[in-house]
Amino acid sequence: MDGLIEYWDTLVGNDEEPLVVERQEGTMREPVVNEHIATIVKAHSNRMGVDYDTALENALSFATYVGLVENSGKTYGRNIPEKGKEQTSASGLYQFLTDDDVGQSAWQTALNRTKKYVGNQDWISKSYEYGIEGVELTTRNQQTAVFLADMLEKKGSDKYMKGILEGNRDNWVGAYKELHYRGKATEASLKNANDVYNSMNVKARF
């Protein structure tokens, strides 16, 4: 996992300060794995019969991929819409939708899924209540814990996620498109996903 740790660290820099609010906790360079990520991956690796260490490394590799696709590895910032598209409330490393005007947002749903494993942590409550931009109250590892809990809890996700935890990178794009991406993927979004996939030295399959 040493190579992944180094790669993870290269995504963290001085531009990681959120635009509006300070992080609730954490430092500029956190350990790659915190207790919440470990708890979530362990629960699902045990359930699926996958070796924990293998599952953990593969889960983080997949999370790194999606974070690069969605927001170039940055933990803050709203989405930049394609030409002719409207701005959405998507925010953070994994660009979760945060607008809760018409009910619970995608981010709030993912936070609730995370609570099933780690309990009602202070950072979860504060981020949930903050609404739009609440993602920016959280650190990289907290966002990753929420992302993994959300992906692993979604209906039918085992179709992709068991293979991902086992190390099958052919499942990455399908999981991203079917489980995380909101709406129909555009040509530009697929090209971006493909480019990032290839940059990580794996063969993209659409």
Residue range 61-106, pLDDT digits in tens: 999 999 999 999 999 887 666 666 777 889 999 999 998 887 899 9
**CA terminus-to-terminus distance, the chain:** 28
The reply to whether 126 falls in a domain is yes
The reply to whether 204 falls in a domain is no
**Per-residue pLDDT for 129 more than 70?**
yes
Lookup: tokens for 117: 């494993």
The reply to whether 85 falls in a domain is yes
The reply to whether 79 falls in a domain is yes
Lookup: tokens for 99: 């607008």
Which domain covers residue 171, as residue numbers?
2-199
* Residue 2: band (very low, low, confident or very high) from pLDDT cuts 50, 70, 90: low
The reply to whether 97 falls in a domain is yes
- The residue ranges of DSSP E strands in 30-178, in sequence order, are 90-91, 96-97
The reply to whether 206 falls in a domain is no
SS3 sequence of 142-191: HHHHHHHHHHHHCCCCHHHHHHHHHCCHHHHHHHHHHHHCCCCCCHHHHH
The reply to whether 74 falls in a domain is yes
Taking the C-alpha atoms of residue 106 and residue 23, their distance in angstroms, rounded to an integer, is: 20
Q: Total structural domains in the chain?
A: 1
